Chains A and B, each alone.
Chain A
Amino acid sequence: EIVLTQSPGTLSLSPGERATLSCRASQSVSSRYLAWYQQKPGQAPRLLIYGASSRATGIPDRFSGSGSGTDFTLTISRLEPEDFAAYFCQQYGESPPWTFGQGTKVEIK
């Protein structure tokens, strides 16, 4: 089973700053099968990025994804107040198991 490790656990930033979140896999993951989700308290996760770098429908272009192999990154170019939330990466190969990282919380500094 592929283990995803996200860092940092918590990121303390101010609105307008750039956020860089990391997701490292225990073995190579096809870029086609790497996603990022945003989750706010009391809400379901929302798909942000799929295929490592493609934005889901309706996602602002301040969100971008990159990476390949075992190292992937989610970047938020300029944090808006509504971006303070938890973010999870996930690998979703053609067949399960589909694993998630443990999450990064982006909090207001």
Chain B
Amino acid sequence: EVQLLESGGGLVQPGGALRLSCVDSGLSFRSYAMAWVRQAPGKGLDWVSAISIHSGTYYADSVKGRFTIARDNSKNTVYLQMNILRAEDTAVYYCASKIPDGAPLDRWGQGTLVTVSS
């Protein structure tokens, strides 16, 4: 079964940084747009960032200027570099994929927990 597997979560102090990774075990990674969606404890889903198949990048206003998304097609991996972390960034971060041209997010990883606390 083709899977997305996130890693890199953990405990970090406010103002700190963390890099999340998501590896796609399938063979068509370069054909998928990728996204990060987060979920704070007990809350709903919150779109964070996306990267197109041509490496165009998009960010939610809440993370713009602090987070950077990137992809490495040779490693079937998408990254989320998170800087200047705040308590409100505490959440499970999910990686998800979609085919281009207006398709939904149809494959999701199991998530990685990021906790921002002193």
Contact = CB atoms under 8 A, between A and B. Distances in A.
A100 interface: yes
Interface residues of B, number: 22
A48 to B, nearest CB: 10
B104 A35 contact: yes
Interface in A75-109: 88, 90, 92-103
Interface string B50-76: 100000001011000000000000000
Interface in B94-110: 94, 98, 101-106, 108-110
A96 B110 contact: no
Interface of A: 1, 32-33, 35, 37, 39, 43-47, 50, 56, 88, 90, 92-103
A87 B106 CA distance: 15
B87 interface: no
Contacts, number: 63
A102 B101 contact: no
B45 interface: yes
A56 B106 contact: yes
B70 to A, nearest CB: 16
B46 A100 contact: yes
A39 B108 CA distance: 11
Contact of A50 (B44, B45, B47, B103): B103
A91 to B, nearest CB: 10
A100 B47 contact: yes
Contact of A47 (B50, B61, B101, B104): B104
Interface centre among A43, A45, A95 (most CB of B within 10 A): A45
